[in-house]
C-alpha cells in the first residue's frame, strides 16, 4: 500500500516580499529580463511554405529552359559567336621644327568577319625631299577569313622605323557577340587603345625641300646621277635638313601602289638608297682642313710657312730611275702658306705635310688615320636612321686586307690619303659632322633628328687656335681674289660662308667624277654647317656642288633670315 507522496516546495519570505529597491536594472525597451519562449508552430509552417514555393518556381524555370525550350537555346548557343575585335591605336603625328605636319592619319572603316573595324591610313606631306627622312610603314593585315595576322602598324624605314615604338601606341580590343545572321548582339570594350606619341623633328621641312629641289635640278642639268645634302646646327647637333636625291614615293610604298613601288625598284638611279647616311663616297679635298689642323697640332709646320707648288711633286723611283713617281697638283700655285693651300686646294702642299717631302716632315699614315678618326670618319655618327655606313680610311692594314701582302704600303699611298683619295670613303652625314667640329671649336656632335634633344659630343683634341687657321683658309676659299681660289661661287652678298670643295675621280680611266662642297656660316660666328655631294657625272663637268648651292643660299637670304645669324 503505497502512499502517494507530493513534493512540497517552500517559498522563502524574502522571495515573496521582494523589496522594490532590489529589482534588477533590466532595460525593458531592449527586451532585457524577458524569458524567450519557443517558436510557434505557425511560424515554422509559414517559412516552410515560402521556401517550398521558391523551390518550385526555380524548378519550373529550370524545366522550362532545359526541357521545354532547351532545343531553342541550344541552337542560339551554337549559332551565336563571341569574337575579339581589335581597336587600332592611332599612330603619332610627325611634325617638323616649325609645327608643320609631315605624317598624319586619316580614319577608314574596314570590315573583317562582319565586324566594322576602324583603322587609320597614313598620309605624308607632298613637299619633295623628305621621303628618306620620314620613311614609310606597313599597315595591319587580315587574311581572307578576316583574321588579323599583322595587328600593328610597322615602320619600315626612316623615322617611321627608328621611332616605331614611340609612334605606334598600344592596340585595344572589344568582345563582340553576333547571332547566326551576323547581327551584333552585344559589344563591350575590354581594353581601350592608347594612341602613339607625337614626334617633332629638328628639320625645317620647307628648308629641306628647297635644298632638295635646287640640287636635284642642278644635278639633272649637269648629268649627275644623284646626290645628298645635310645641314647641321654646329652648337646642338640638330639636323635642319637631310635629303637624298633622287627620292622614292614613300606614300606609294605605304599604300602598296604597284606603279610607284616598281618605278623605284627598277630605276638605275637607285632612289631607294638614302645617300646621306648610306652612300659612301671618296671625299677628295674636303678632308684637307682636318689634316691642316692635325699638322699644326703635331707641330710639324707653322701656318705661315710657305711651300712651293710647281704643279707636281716628283719622287725618284729606285726600281726604275727613268720613270720617277709623279704626284700632280691640279694647277701651279707657287709659294703658298697653310691658309692659302686650303683656299686653293693645293695637292702638293698636302702631299708634303701628309707624307713628307725633302726637308719637310709629314704626318705619316698613322697620324692621318688617327686624326681622321678623331673627326668621326670610319665610324657611324649615331644619327637616328637605320642603315648608316661607317666608311673607310686607307691604312697599311686595310691595304693588306684588300690587295694582299705582296703590295706593301708606299709613301705615294700616304700622299693620296692626305688629299682624300685612294680607298678613302665617307658619308655626307660624316662630312657635315666633321665640318661642324671645325666650326664649333672641336666638338664632334652626335647628329640629332628630334627637336630639343640634349646635345651630345666628344672632343676632337685639337686646340681651337689651330681650327681657327682651318676656318680662315675655308673663308679665304670664298673671298680670295686669286684665280685659283676654289669656292668663289659662294661669295654671296648677305651671307658669310666659309667653304671647301672636293673632286674625286672615278672609273678605270678617271672618266667620271663626284663633286663635294662643305662649309659653315656665318663665317665669323659659325652656327650652321653643310655638306653636299653630287654623284657620278662625266669627268670635267664644269659646274659642281658649290655653284649648285647658290640659288639655295639666295633663298635663305630672302625667305629664312633667322638662319643668317
Provide the CATH number for the domain around residue 167. Answer: 3.90.1310.10
Query: What φ, ψ does residue 5 adopt, rounded to 5°?
Result: -105, 135
CA-based max dimension of the chain: 172
- Cβ–Cβ < 8 Å for 533, 515: yes
Using a 10 angstrom Cβ sphere, with 0-12 exposed, 13-18 middle and 19 or more buried, the burial of residue 227 is buried
**Structural domain contains residue 383:** yes
What span, in angstroms and rounded, lies between the C-alpha atoms of 202 and 450? 5
What span, in angstroms and rounded, lies between the C-alpha atoms of 565 and 554? 15
Residues 155 and 297 placed together within one structural domain of the fold: no
What span, in angstroms and rounded, lies between the C-alpha atoms of 236 and 528? 10
pLDDT digits (tens, 9 = 90+) for 64-108: 766 777 666 565 555 555 566 788 899 999 999 999 999 999 987
Q: At which of 146, 178, 200 does a domain end?
A: 200
Among residues 498, 534, 461, the alpha carbon closest in space to that of 234 is found at 498
Task: Report residue 55 as a C-alpha cell.
Answer: 523551390
Task: Report residue 297 as a C-alpha cell.
Answer: 697640332
Q: What is the pTM of this model?
A: 0.83
| CA 374 centroid distance within chain | 24
In Å, what is the CA distance from 487 to each residue of 96, 482, 540? 31, 11, 17
**Structural domain contains residue 29:** no
What's the pLDDT at 151? 86
**Structural domain contains residue 180:** yes
Cis peptide before 212 (omega within 30 of 0): no
Q: At which of 200, 216, 242 does a domain end?
A: 200
Residues 322 and 380 placed together within one structural domain of the fold: yes
Q: Where are the alpha helices (DSSP H) in 223-274?
A: 250-255, 258-266
Using a 10 angstrom Cβ sphere, with 0-12 exposed, 13-18 middle and 19 or more buried, the burial of residue 360 is middle
Among residues 458, 465, 532, 534, the alpha carbon closest in space to that of 500 is found at 532
Q: Who's near 497: CB < 8 A, 6+ residues apart?
A: 478, 487, 490, 491, 519, 520, 521, 523, 553
Residues 241 and 367 placed together within one structural domain of the fold: yes
Residues 257 and 136 placed together within one structural domain of the fold: no
In Å, what is the CA distance from 417 to each residue of 241, 346, 380, 410? 29, 14, 20, 11
Residues 498 and 360 placed together within one structural domain of the fold: yes
**Structural domain contains residue 24:** no
Tell me, letter by letter, the H, E, C secondary structure of 132-195: HHHCCEECCEECCCCCEEECCCEECCHHHHHCHHHHHCECEEEEEEECCCCCEEEEEEEECCEC
What span, in angstroms and rounded, lies between the C-alpha atoms of 153 and 86? 13
| CA 214 centroid distance within chain | 24
Rounded to 5°, angle at Cα 348 from 345 and 353:
95
Other Cβ atoms less than 10 A from the Cβ of 548: the count is: 25
Residues 211 and 194 placed together within one structural domain of the fold: no
**β-strands 334-336, 239-245: how paired?**
unpaired
DSSP-assigned beta bridge partners for residue 558: none
- Cβ–Cβ < 8 Å for 546, 487: yes
CATH at 543: 3.40.710.10
- Cβ–Cβ < 8 Å for 354, 415: yes
Residues 130 and 213 placed together within one structural domain of the fold: no
Other Cβ atoms less than 10 A from the Cβ of 334: the count is: 15
What's the pLDDT at 81? 56
Residues 210 and 126 placed together within one structural domain of the fold: no
Query: What φ, ψ does residue 152 adopt, rounded to 5°?
Result: -125, 155
Residues 380 and 266 placed together within one structural domain of the fold: yes
Residues 195 and 209 placed together within one structural domain of the fold: no
3-state percent breakdown (helix, strand, coil) of the chain, nearest 5: 35, 25, 40
Total count of domains within the chain: 2
What's the pLDDT at 176? 66
What's the pLDDT at 133? 98
**Structural domain contains residue 404:** yes
Rounded to 5°, angle at Cα 286 from 348 and 438:
115
Query: pLDDT per position in the chain (565 positions), as tens?
Result: 445 555 556 666 555 555 555 556 666 666 565 656 676 777 778 778 888 888 888 777 777 766 777 666 565 555 555 566 788 899 999 999 999 999 999 987 555 555 556 778 999 999 999 999 999 999 998 888 777 888 889 999 999 999 999 999 999 888 766 665 556 566 666 788 899 999 999 999 999 999 999 999 999 999 999 999 999 999 999 999 999 999 999 999 999 999 999 999 999 999 999 999 999 999 999 999 999 999 999 999 999 999 999 999 999 888 788 889 999 999 999 999 999 999 999 999 999 999 999 999 999 999 999 999 999 999 999 999 999 999 999 999 999 999 999 889 999 999 999 999 999 999 999 999 999 999 999 999 999 999 877 899 999 999 999 999 999 999 999 999 999 999 999 999 999 999 999 998 888 888 999 999 999 999 999 999 999 999 999 998 989 999 999 999 999 999 999 999 8
What span, in angstroms and rounded, lies between the C-alpha atoms of 368 and 565? 34
Range of the domain at 105: 81-200
DSSP H or E stretch at residue 467: helix 464-479
**Structural domain contains residue 323:** yes
What's the pLDDT at 564? 95
**Structural domain contains residue 53:** no
Other Cβ atoms less than 10 A from the Cβ of 326: the count is: 12
Residues 232 and 90 placed together within one structural domain of the fold: no
Task: Report residue 430 as a C-alpha cell.
Answer: 660624316
Q: Of how many residues is the chain composed?
A: 565
Q: At which of 175, 200, 225 does a domain end?
A: 200
What span, in angstroms and rounded, lies between the C-alpha atoms of 447 and 455? 9
Collapsed DSSP state (helix, strand, coil) of residue 35: coil
Residues 486 and 385 placed together within one structural domain of the fold: yes
Amino acid at each position: 500500500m503505497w502512499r502517494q507522496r507530493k513534493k512540497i516546495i517552500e517559498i522563502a519570505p524574502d522571495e515573496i516580499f521582494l523589496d522594490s529597491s532590489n529589482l534588477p536594472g533590466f532595460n525593458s525597451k531592449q527586451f532585457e529580463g524577458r524569458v524567450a519562449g519557443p517558436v510557434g508552430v505557425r511560424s515554422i509552417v509559414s517559412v516552410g511554405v515560402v521556401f517550398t514555393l521558391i523551390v518550385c518556381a526555380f524548378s519550373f524555370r529550370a524545366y522550362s529552359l532545359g526541357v521545354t525550350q532547351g532545343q531553342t537555346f541550344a541552337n542560339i548557343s551554337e549559332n551565336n559567336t563571341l569574337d575579339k575585335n581589335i581597336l587600332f591605336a592611332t599612330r603619332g603625328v610627325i611634325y617638323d621644327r616649325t609645327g608643320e605636319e609631315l605624317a598624319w592619319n586619316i580614319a577608314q572603316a574596314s570590315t573583317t568577319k562582319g565586324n566594322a573595324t576602324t583603322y587609320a591610313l597614313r598620309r605624308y606631306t607632298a613637299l619633295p625631299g623628305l621621303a628618306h627622312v620620314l620613311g614609310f610603314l606597313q599597315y595591319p593585315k587580315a587574311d581572307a577569313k578576316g583574321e588579323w595576322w599583322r595587328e600593328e602598324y610597322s615602320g619600315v624605314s626612316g623615322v617611321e622605323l627608328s621611332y616605331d615604338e614611340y609612334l605606334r601606341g598600344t592596340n585595344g580590343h572589344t568582345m563582340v557577340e553576333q547571332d547566326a545572321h551576323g547581327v551584333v548582339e552585344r559589344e563591350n570594350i575590354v581594353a581601350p587603345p592608347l594612341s602613339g606619341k607625337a614626334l617633332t623633328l629638328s628639320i625645317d621641312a620647307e628648308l629641306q625641300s628647297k635644298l632638295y629641289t635646287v640640287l636635284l635640278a642642278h644635278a639633272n642639268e649637269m648629268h649627275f646621277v644623284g646626290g645628298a645634302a645635310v645641314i647641321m646646327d654646329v652648337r646642338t647637333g640638330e639636323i635642319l635638313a637631310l635629303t637624298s636625291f633622287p627620292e622614292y614615293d614613300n606614300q606609294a610604298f605605304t599604300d602598296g601602289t604597284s606603279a610607284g613601288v616598281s618605278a623605284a625598284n627598277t630605276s638605275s638611279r637607285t632612289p631607294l638608297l638614302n645617300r646621306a647616311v648610306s652612300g659612301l663616297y671618296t671625299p677628295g679635298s674636303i678632308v684637307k682642313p682636318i689634316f691642316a689642323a692635325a699638322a699644326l697640332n703635331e707641330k710639324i709646320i707653322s701656318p705661315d710657312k710657305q711651300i712651293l707648288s710647281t704643279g707636281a711633286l716628283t719622287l725618284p723611283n729606285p726600281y726604275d730611275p727613268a720613270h720617277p713617281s709623279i704626284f700632280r697638283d691640279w694647277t701651279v700655285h707657287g709659294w703658298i702658306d697653310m691658309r692659302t693651300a686650303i683656299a686653293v686646294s693645293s695637292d702638293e702642299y698636302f702631299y708634303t705635310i701628309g707624307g713628307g717631302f725633302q726637308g719637310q716632315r709629314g704626318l705619316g699614315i698613322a697620324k692621318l688615320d688617327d686624326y681622321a678618326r678623331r673627326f668621326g670618319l670610319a665610324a657611324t655618327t649615331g644619327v637616328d636612321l637605320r642603315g648608316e655606313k661607317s666608311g673607310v680610311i686607307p691604312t697599311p692594314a686595310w691595304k693588306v686586307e684588300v690587295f694582299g701582302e705582296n703590295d706593301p704600303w708606299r709613301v705615294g699611298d700616304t700622299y693620296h690619303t692626305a688629299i682624300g683619295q685612294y680607298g678613302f670613303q665617307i658619308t655626307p652625314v660624316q662630312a657635315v659632322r666633321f665640318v661642324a667640329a671645325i666650326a664649333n671649336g672641336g666638338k664632334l656632335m652626335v647628329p640629332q633628328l628630334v627637336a630639343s634633344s640634349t646635345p651630345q659630343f666628344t672632343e676632337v683634341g685639337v686646340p681651337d687656335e689651330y681650327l681657327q687657321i682651318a676656318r680662315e683658309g675655308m673663308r679665304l676659299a670664298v673671298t680670295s681674289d686669286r684665280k685659283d681660289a676654289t669656292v668663289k661661287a659662294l661669295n654671296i652678298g648677305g651671307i658669310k660662308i666659309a667653304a671647301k670643295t672636293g673632286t674625286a675621280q672615278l672609273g678605270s680611266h678617271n672618266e667620271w667624277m663626284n663633286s663635294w662642297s662643305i662649309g659653315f656660316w656665318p663665317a665669323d660666328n659659325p652656327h650652321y654647317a653643310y655638306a653636299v655631294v653630287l654623284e657620278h657625272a662625266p669627268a670635267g663637268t664644269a659646274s659642281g656642288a658649290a655653284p649648285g648651292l647658290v640659288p639655295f643660299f639666295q633663298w635663305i637670304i630672302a625667305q629664312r633670315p633667322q638662319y643668317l645669324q
